Every structure is written in structure tokens, then in C-alpha cells.
């Protein structure tokens, strides 16, 4: 019995393409990555020559320090955002000098403040309303007495 070779499908045109899922590289190592590496290291160590206890304590300490530094950075950002919001609210009713869209220094009375409303804008500076003009808080150059 003879077997015919496999042939292409008649009438089919074009080329075959394959798609590969693109992986986005992680830019920072979180505690999950660090802990995964530590567990993998422990699982694959040589039983006749286990990891030095001092090394394990050192790595665990590094993990703890990294978590605390990450939390400190988040707390600092939150504190800064709160401070900027309070400072911008204190400008309502005051006359300020600011850098206009054309780069010229302009003066006006602050009659309102708008804060970022969505999570995508979290951490962005407030926008002041000065005589109907929207001015970023960072563009305020001075406050008149």
C-alpha cells in the first residue's frame, strides 16, 4: 500500500504566519520576584552542601529592607500630594502671579481649584482657576499679600 505525500490545500493563497505573545519586561523587582528566587534557590540547593544560614538571613533582611523602602516611597508620594492639595486650596481668594501659556507672567485672582479625578491622574498637580483660565499649580510663580 502506498501513501501519497502531503500536499498543499488547493486554492489556498498567502503565507502562514505565527504570532508570538510579546512579554513586557519587569523594570523593578518586587518582593514576589525576590521570594520566588529565594524559594527556587532553596529547592535546587545541594543537600550535601546547604545554603549558609548567614546568607539566608542576609537575603531575608534585604527583602525586608526592599519592602520598607517601597512603602516609604509610596508614603512620601502620598504626603507630597496631600501637601500640594492643601497649598493649592490655600490660594483660593488670593492674587497670584503665574506663567501663562505664552510664557509671559500674568497676575490674577484664584477663584477655584480642580484636583485630578481619576486614578490615571493620581499624583498630578491641581489646576487653579484664575479668572476663567486654567493654570497648573506648578506654573504659579508667586502669591501677593
Would you kindly state where each structural domain of the chain is located, as residue ranges?
32-37+51-143
Per-residue pLDDT, 118: 44
The pLDDT of residue 122 is 47
pLDDT, residue 11, reads: 54
For 59-68, 85-94, 128-137, which range has the lowest pLDDT when averaged over its residues? Answer: 59-68
Backbone angles phi, psi at 137, to 5 degrees: -55, -40
> What mean pLDDT comes out for the span 83-102?
92
Cell of 7: 500536499
| pLDDT tens profile 32-68 | 777 787 788 778 877 777 767 788 788 888 888 988 9
Tell me if the domain spanning 32-37+51-143 has CATH number 2.30.30: yes
The residue with greater pLDDT, 112 or 52, is 112
pLDDT band at residue 93, thresholds of 50, 70 and 90? very high
- Quick one: pLDDT at residue 5? 59
Alpha helices in 2-145 (DSSP H): 31-43, 53-89
Amino acid at each position: 500500500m502506498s501513501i501519497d505525500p502531503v500536499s498543499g490545500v488547493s486554492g489556498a493563497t498567502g503565507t502562514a504566519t505565527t504570532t508570538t505573545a510579546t512579554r513586557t519586561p519587569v523594570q523593578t523587582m518586587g518582593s514576589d520576584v525576590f521570594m520566588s528566587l529565594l524559594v527556587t534557590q532553596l529547592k535546587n540547593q545541594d543537600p550535601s552542601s546547604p545554603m549558609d544560614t548567614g546568607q539566608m538571613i542576609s537575603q531575608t533582611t534585604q527583602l525586608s529592607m526592599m519592602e520598607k523602602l517601597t512603602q516609604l516611597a509610596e508614603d512620601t508620594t502620598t504626603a507630597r500630594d496631600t501637601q500640594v492639595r492643601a497649598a493649592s486650596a490655600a490660594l483660593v481668594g488670593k492674587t497670584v502671579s503665574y506663567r501663562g501659556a505664552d510664557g509671559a507672567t500674568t497676575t490674577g485672582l484664584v477663584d477655584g481649584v480642580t484636583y485630578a479625578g481619576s486614578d490615571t491622574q493620581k499624583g498630578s498637580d491641581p489646576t487653579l482657576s484664575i479668572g476663567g483660565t486654567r493654570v497648573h499649580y506648578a506654573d504659579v510663580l508667586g502669591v501677593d499679600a
